[in-house]
Structure formats: structure tokens, C-alpha cells
């Protein structure tokens, strides 16, 4: 119950504005702005450039991205936030959508950052579904770079079914997805079945979960990956992480760590990056 309360309460916490001195960027394919986002630098030379991946139904201007960006910039980290395919002003290519396996997209964005700022260290932070993208990226592109996953699922099937069992959160996420896509769906699995699977070459929602989930390979995650897990998370089943190393367990449900006081997960992000980049 406390996890549910904390998860709902974090939606009413203060959300910082977008950085005043941010620079828009985009990457185009065949004339379409397939990836868009913004880049912000701290006042002093940055310790690293952190690429931030938003969660399910979110975007680069959402509250969770703003919260972690504010802490990163205050701690002298540059921030590069990006919109997944079809999110905000990012366009779709051949009808494809953003999903939990888009680690190739993340690598393209990291490559752009690396080419543009060759003398700056890189790191990646993923929030919820964005955390799964970061985890999958670490398996397919296992070069040494700090990667943090915040309240991320390991098993996509369990996460989708678990979310659908919770009426409040199911309605919350489904309403958000229907604002993004011209569809009528009843659940997360229904959305993945009707939108994600056919748009991205999967035979069904469960085919998508099976092929993209990092759970079967979870023990192969590199040692420069860290996870923050809500031990009472009502959205992502925390037992998926039970036998994993390099994990910090905190109460606070889904992205409500620190409840009823100040949100603590953005502070944890800065602490972990400082440790891993030392």
C-alpha cells in the first residue's frame, strides 16, 4: 500500500522547469526527424555528458527527465535528453514506434554525442522503460560506460501483466498512450498487441516481450551497470531483481523514492555516476 501511495504522490512533487539555456537537436533519416531532444551544459566544464532515456509514454520534457536533469546540471554534468520514435516532435520511420528494445537508437545518439564531444566522458541513465533500453544496450554494446537503470523492468511480460492487474496504474498509462497514438486500447498488453508489435515486426505482444526482454541474460549485465529498485514498486515487479548484484533497494514504490520527504532517486543517480566515473 505504501508503495502505491508513494508512486501516486511523486506526481505532485515539484517539477523543475526545463533548463533555460538548452540547445535543441535532432537526427534525421530520409528527411524525417527520427530522434529529437535537447542538450544542456552546466556553468562550469562538465564532469561527463549524461544521455537520459524517458519512460513509457513519456518524452524528453517530462517531469522525471526534468527532475534528474536538474540534479545532474547542479552537480556539473551535461544532459542530453531524447525523444523516442513518435514521441513529442520526434517522427516515426516506416511506421515504427518507440519500445523497450530500442537500444540501437540509444547507440546512435551516444555515437552522435561521442563524435560531437570527443573529450567528454559519457554515461546513460534510463527511467522505467528507458531503464530497460539502457540495460539491453549494455548487453549488445558492452563497452565500458556507466549505465544506470531506475525502477526498470527486467522481464517485460511480467511487467506488462503486473501493470495491467493494477486498475489505477493501467488506466493512467493507457490514457497517456492513447493521447500519443490514434488508438483505443484497454491495457498495456492490448497496446503492445495492437500498436507496438505490428509496427515493429513482432508477431504479437508476447513475441515482443520474449525477444526484447533482458531477463534471460540478466546475469550477463556488465559490472558498470547499476540499478535502483523499488522494493514496494506497484508498477514493476521487484522480484525480477532479487538475485542481481549492483542493485540499490529503496522503498518509495515506482519513482517515489524518498517519500514522504524529498525525492531521493535523482540524488542516487548523481552519487552513482560520481562513483563509477571516479
Bridge partner residues of 90 (DSSP): none
* Phi, psi of 152, rounded to the nearest 5 degrees: -95, 145
Q: Mind listing the pLDDT tens digit for each residue in 192-221?
A: 999 999 999 999 999 999 999 999 999 999
Instruction: Tell me the pLDDT of the chain averaged across its residues.
Output: 93
- Higher confidence at residue 93 or residue 20? 20
Range name among 20-24, 30-34, 40-44 with the lowest pLDDT average: 30-34
The answer, yes or no, to whether residue 267 has pLDDT greater than 90, is yes
Fold that domain 2-155+219-276 belongs to in CATH = Rossmann fold (3.40.50)
Q: How open is the CA angle 143-202-241, to the nearest 5 degrees?
A: 50
Specify the pLDDT at position 40.
Answer: 97
Span 127-175, pLDDT tens digits? 999 999 999 999 999 999 999 999 999 999 999 999 999 999 899 899 8
Cβ pair 237, 217 in contact under 8 A: no
Domain boundaries, the chain: 2-155+219-276
Average pLDDT of the residues in 56-70: 96
Q: Give kind and range of the element (H or E) at residue 209.
A: helix 205-212
Closest CA to 148 of 173, 127, 129, 169: 127
pLDDT, position 30: 65
Grid cell listed for 50: 549524461
Amino acid at each position: 500500500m505504501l508503495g502505491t501511495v508513494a508512486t501516486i504522490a511523486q506526481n505532485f512533487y515539484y517539477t523543475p522547469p526545463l533548463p533555460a539555456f538548452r540547445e535543441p537537436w535532432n537526427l534525421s533519416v530520409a528527411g524525417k526527424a527520427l530522434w529529437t531532444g535537447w542538450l544542456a551544459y552546466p556553468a562550469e566544464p562538465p564532469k561527463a555528458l549524461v544521455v537520459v532515456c524517458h519512460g513509457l509514454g513519456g518524452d524528453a520534457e517530462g517531469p522525471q527527465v526534468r527532475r534528474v536533469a536538474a540534479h545532474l546540471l547542479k552537480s556539473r554534468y551535461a544532459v542530453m535528453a531524447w525523444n523516442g520514435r513518435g514521441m513529442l516532435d520526434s517522427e516515426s520511420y516506416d511506421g515504427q514506434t518507440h519500445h523497450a528494445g530500442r537500444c540501437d537508437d540509444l547507440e546512435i545518439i551516444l555515437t552522435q554525442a561521442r563524435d560531437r564531444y570527443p573529450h567528454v566522458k559519457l554515461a546513460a541513465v534510463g527511467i522505467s522503460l528507458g531503464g530497460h533500453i539502457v540495460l539491453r544496450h549494455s548487453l549488445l554494446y558492452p563497452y565500458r560506460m556507466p549505465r544506470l537503470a531506475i525502477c526498470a523492468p527486467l522481464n517485460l511480460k511480467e511487467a506488462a501483466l503486473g501493470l495491467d492487474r493494477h486498475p489505477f496504474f493501467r488506466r493512467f498509462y493507457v490514457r497517456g498512450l492513447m493521447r500519443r497514438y490514434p488508438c483505443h486500447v484497454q491495457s498495456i498488453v492490448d497496446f503492445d498487441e495492437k500498436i507496438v508489435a505490428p509496427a515493429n515486426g513482432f508477431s504479437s505482444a508476447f513475441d515482443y516481450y520474449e525477444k526484447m526482454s533482458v531477463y534471460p541474460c540478466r546475469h550477463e549485465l556488465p559490472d558498470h551497470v547499476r540499478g535502483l529498485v523499488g522494493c514496494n514498486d506497484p508498477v514493476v515487479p521487484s522480484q525480477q531483481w532479487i538475485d542481481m548484484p549492483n542493485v540499490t533497494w529503496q522503498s518509495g514504490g515506482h519513482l517515489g523514492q524518498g517519500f514522504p520527504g524529498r525525492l531521493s532517486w535523482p540524488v542516487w543517480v548523481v552519487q552513482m555516476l560520481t562513483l563509477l566515473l571516479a
